[in-house]
């Protein structure tokens, strides 16, 4: 995709889309499980999940900031919002943040739609990686190939 800095090949878009669909399934499962507020006496697993949400939210926020095009930035913004609400739900628990489940599902559904729109963009807008010389140790796009 021209202008895309992160999701610049069809393969990357597909991988990102698969991850988003999987996490959409995880978010839907959130409707069936209650989350207690995080306290000092919470089990280690609750702290680990909160740490994972913090790391994922931070990385997604960074990816949103460096994304090249509007649609790419929108995709990462949806994912960042979902992860951020997952973190809030983990920290505050269901009584305070039950709406977080709905927001997560909605944001991930929007990310899936955005991902499919990136995937269905014209093929010429996606960068192709030439691996034809990779087996012989040549680097695609090297000076010898341009000649």
- Residue 141 pLDDT exceeds 50: no
pLDDT (tens digit, 9 = 90+) per residue, 7-44?
Answer: 988 999 999 999 999 999 999 999 998 899 999 999 99
pTM of the model: 0.79
Q: What is the DSSP letter of 79?
A: H
pLDDT at 71: 93
- Residue 68 pLDDT exceeds 90: no
pLDDT at 98: 81
Report how far residue 6's alpha carbon sits from residue 8's, in angstroms, rounded to the nearest whole number. 6
- Residue 87: in which H helix or E strand, if any? helix 70-92
Domain ranges of the chain: 1-34+46-121
pLDDT at 133: 53
pLDDT at 110: 98
- Residue 146: in which H helix or E strand, if any? helix 143-146
pLDDT (tens digit, 9 = 90+) per residue, 85-130?
Answer: 999 999 999 887 888 999 999 999 999 999 999 988 765 444 555 5
């Amino acid at each position: 995709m021209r202008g895309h800095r992160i999701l610049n090949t069809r393969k990357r878009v597909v991988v990102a889309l698969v991850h988003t669909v999987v996490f959409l399934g995880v978010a839907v499962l959130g409707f069936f499980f209650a989350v207690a507020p995080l306290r000092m006496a919470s089990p280690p697993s609750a702290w680990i999940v909160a740490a994972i949400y913090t790391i994922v939210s931070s990385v997604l926020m960074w990816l949103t900031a460096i994304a090249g095009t509007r649609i790419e930035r929108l995709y990462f913004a949806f994912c960042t919002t979902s992860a951020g609400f997952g973190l809030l739900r983990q920290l505050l628990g269901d009584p305070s943040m039950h709406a977080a489940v709905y927001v997560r599902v909605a944001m991930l559904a929007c990310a899936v739609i955005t991902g499919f729109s990136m995937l269905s963009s014209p093929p010429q807008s996606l960068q192709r990686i030439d691996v034809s010389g990779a087996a012989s140790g040549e680097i695609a796009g090297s000076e010898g190939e341009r000649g």
